[in-house]
Amino acid sequence: MAVLDVPGARLHHTVTGSGPVLLCVPGGAADSGMFAPIASLLAEHYTVITYDPRGISRSILDDPGEEQRIEVHTDDALRLLDSVSEEPAAIFASSGGCMQAFELVARHPGRVRTLLAHEPPLTSLLDEEPDVDPDELLRIHREHGIEAAMAKFMAEAGFEAGEGALPPEMRKNVEFFVVHLMKMIGDFTPDYAALKASGTRIVVGVGKESAGQPAHEAAVLAAGRLGLDPTYFPGDHGGFAAEAATFAPLLREILGA
């Protein structure tokens, strides 16, 4: 575990393995622990960087109420890469983490060799967007608590929600996601032209078991915008964690192509 001081925050991260650099970018309320099942498998072939995004888990903000912006989260990811190597790297991004990965590729052509974006939730591409209004979720949070707000989000996103109170650390992360990150992620639109012109090989992944969920369907449409066919991976939206043993070989094959 290491700490990288960046403007406005301190990023807790781990660097394991050896070989070409692979940065893993979590989404939503997730932290570096989401990648633990697959990181050990990937570290046999790559120098794997996992991290807690600013405001999540151990990555403490100087100003907890500061407005969160994709550009700042993108700069964090770039600084993490630069702290390990300035050679072109690979990125594996999950869900909302795909947004800063897309922004990094668009803003820094040549910095990323391959990007695998797994189920980017670009739901504005859908004919019928999920009824997940950040302002409505904030109201539910204020009036009924964070568990109720998260249950609403999970239902609209097509995910199974757990029951009962959230563990303290997860509660903190979920609150930060609802209050500060959800609107940032939902308002983001990739620069598709810049992505296609970047020189980065982009792969859009979707879960074999998540068909019909908004993030899956939006990812398929995003792949089309980039002139790509989606690549199907084991499991669902979090298949890289739940199905790590079968997910990792396909990921290694794609990164090595």
175-202 average pLDDT score: 95
Confidence category of residue 169, pLDDT binned at 50, 70, 90: confident
Helix (H, G, I), strand (E, B) or coil at 6: strand
Write out the H or E segment, with its range, that includes residue 4.
strand 2-6
Buried b (16+ CB within 10 A) or exposed e, 234-247: bbbbbbbbebbeeb
**Model pLDDT, residue 196:** 97
**Burial level of 214, CB count in 10 A (0-12/13-18/19+)?**
buried
123-146 average pLDDT score: 83
Please state, for a pLDDT cut of 70, what percent of the chain lies above it: 96
User: Has residue 19 got a pLDDT over 70?
Assistant: yes
DSSP state of 61: B
User: Has residue 103 got a pLDDT over 70?
Assistant: yes
**Burial level of 53, CB count in 10 A (0-12/13-18/19+)?**
buried
Confidence category of residue 164, pLDDT binned at 50, 70, 90: low
User: Has residue 27 got a pLDDT over 90?
Assistant: yes
**Model pLDDT, residue 155:** 81
CA distance from start to end of the chain? 30
**Model pLDDT, residue 35:** 97
Mean pLDDT, the chain, rounded, equals 93
**Model pLDDT, residue 240:** 97
Count of other CB atoms within 10 angstroms of residue 124: 12
**Model pLDDT, residue 131:** 60
**Phi–psi pair at 86, nearest 5 degrees:** -95, 5
**Model pLDDT, residue 74:** 98
Confidence category of residue 106, pLDDT binned at 50, 70, 90: very high
Confidence category of residue 130, pLDDT binned at 50, 70, 90: low
Confidence category of residue 241, pLDDT binned at 50, 70, 90: very high
Write out the H or E segment, with its range, that includes residue 48.
strand 47-51
Where do the H-state alpha helices sit in the chain? 36-42, 70-84, 97-107, 134-144, 146-157, 168-176, 182-186, 192-197, 214-225, 239-242, 244-256
- Whole-model pTM: value is 0.93
Q: Which residue has the tokens 């939206």?
A: 237
**Model pLDDT, residue 198:** 97
- What sign results for the dihedral spanned by CA atoms 92, 41, 32, 86? negative
**Model pLDDT, residue 61:** 98
**Model pLDDT, residue 195:** 98
